[in-house]
């Protein structure tokens, strides 16, 4: 039988050397890439990131009436394109919910939710249909179903019996379950989802959540409570200044989203 050869400390030295390199590399990588959490740490007066402007003039209106909070005459209109199975949308949900609560009742504030289920999320389309089916019974129930879907995302998104889970949510929020099931299978809720998706595609939405404030796409890192408040307040101030300025100096702050306000 062959004896194992003694090769001194060379292999041990190599192993220890690689371990040291890995630990050092990991620490350096951690230090270079560690950034504050976007939903908590960015100060309210931080410099905003550039916001891309989009034109909504030729885009289809999406589901009409939309799932919206606030009057169509509002000067600040937020439109969110989201996917119930997207983890980042789930992470943004509490922020946008708090924003809606903070500005609820403000005549210059309107929030519109648009379905944009991504193809790679196998249950996202059905989840959007479930939310719309809830909204068909009562528009307020859409928001309750939205809450269920986002707050329990980790549960249903990995369960093959997710449709049964949606029915449980329907029961929980007080829906007529038989009608909910029928609407899940029917065309009306699906058509509304498809209409929202058509609008999103026309606007070249490529990721979720995409949050648009008065025609400006807000970078995801800015979708924080402080960041959104700063943006909304600035838009409201801009609108107020425009209204107070002499007519010859007044210029429309935006056109597309606001011009479509009647559709939202």
Partner 1 sequence: MNSQVETAGESRGRWIAFAAAFVAVLGLADAVYLTVHHYTATPVPCSIFEGCETVLTSLYAEFAGIPTAAFGALAYFVAFSLAILAAYENRTAWKLFGVQVVIMAAVTCWLIYLQAFVIGAFCQFCLLSAITTFLLLLLFAISKVKRAQF
Beta-carbon-side half-sphere exposure of residue 62 (alpha carbons within 13 Å):
29
Q: Which residues pair with 213 in a beta bridge?
A: 78, 216
Show Cβ contacts of residue 110 under 8 Å, excluding neighbours closer than 6 positions: 68, 69, 70, 71, 72, 74, 76, 77, 78, 261, 264
Provide the edge-to-edge strand list for the sheet that holds 76-82: 52-53, 216-218, 210-213, 76-82, 109-115, 67-69
Residue 114 or 141 with smaller CB distance to partner 1: 114
Instruction: Tell the smallest beta-carbon distance from residue 60 to partner 1 (Å).
Output: 19
Residue 15 or 44 with smaller CB distance to partner 1: 15
Return d(Cα 225, Cα 122) in angstroms, integer: 30
Instruction: Tell the smallest beta-carbon distance from residue 55 to partner 1 (Å).
Output: 20
Instruction: Tell the smallest beta-carbon distance from residue 33 to partner 1 (Å).
Output: 5
Q: What are the DSSP calls for 160-178, one per residue?
A: TTHHHHHHHHHHHTT--HH
Instruction: Tell the smallest beta-carbon distance from residue 199 to partner 1 (Å).
Output: 15
Residue 154 or 234 with smaller CB distance to partner 1: 154
Residue 116 or 180 with smaller CB distance to partner 1: 116
Binding site for partner 1 (CB under 8 A): 2, 4-5, 7, 10-11, 14-15, 18-19, 22, 25-26, 29-30, 33-35, 37-39, 83, 86-89, 91, 118-123, 154, 158, 206-210, 220-221
Residue 93 or 180 with smaller CB distance to partner 1: 93
Instruction: Tell the smallest beta-carbon distance from residue 39 to partner 1 (Å).
Output: 8
Please state, as a whole number, how many other Cβ atoms lie within 10 Å of the Cβ of residue 86: 22
């Amino acid at each position: 039988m062959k004896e194992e050869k003694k090769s001194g400390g060379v292999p041990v030295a190599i192993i220890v050397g690689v371990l040291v390199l890995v630990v050092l590399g990991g620490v350096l990588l951690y230090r270079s890439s560690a950034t504050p959490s976007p939903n908590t740490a960015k100060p309210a007066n931080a410099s905003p990131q550039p916001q891309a402007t989009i034109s909504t003039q030729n885009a289809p209106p999406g589901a009409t009436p939309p799932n919206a909070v606030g009057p169509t005459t509002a000067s600040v209109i937020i439109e969110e394109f989201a996917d119930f199975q997207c983890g980042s949308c789930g992470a943004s949900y509490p922020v946008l919910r708090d924003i809606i609560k903070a500005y609820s009742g403000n005549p210059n504030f309107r929030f519109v939710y648009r379905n944009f289920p991504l193809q790679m999320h196998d249950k996202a389309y059905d989840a959007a249909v479930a939310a719309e089916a809830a909204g068909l019974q009562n528009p307020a129930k859409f928001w309750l179903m939205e809450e269920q879907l986002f707050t329990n995302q980790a549960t249903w998104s990995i369960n093959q019996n997710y449709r049964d889970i949606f029915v449980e949510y329907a029961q929980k929020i007080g829906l007529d379950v038989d009608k909910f099931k029928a609407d899940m299978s029917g065309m009306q809720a699906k058509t509304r989802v498809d209409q929202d998706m058509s609008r999103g595609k026309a606007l070249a939405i490529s990721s979720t959540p995409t949050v648009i404030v008065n025609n400006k796409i807000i970078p995801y890192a800015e979708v924080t409570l402080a960041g959104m408040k700063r943006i909304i307040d600035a838009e409201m101030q801009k609108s107020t200044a425009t209204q107070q300025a002499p007519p010859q100096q007044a210029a429309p702050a935006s056109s597309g989203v606001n011009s479509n306000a009647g559709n939202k």
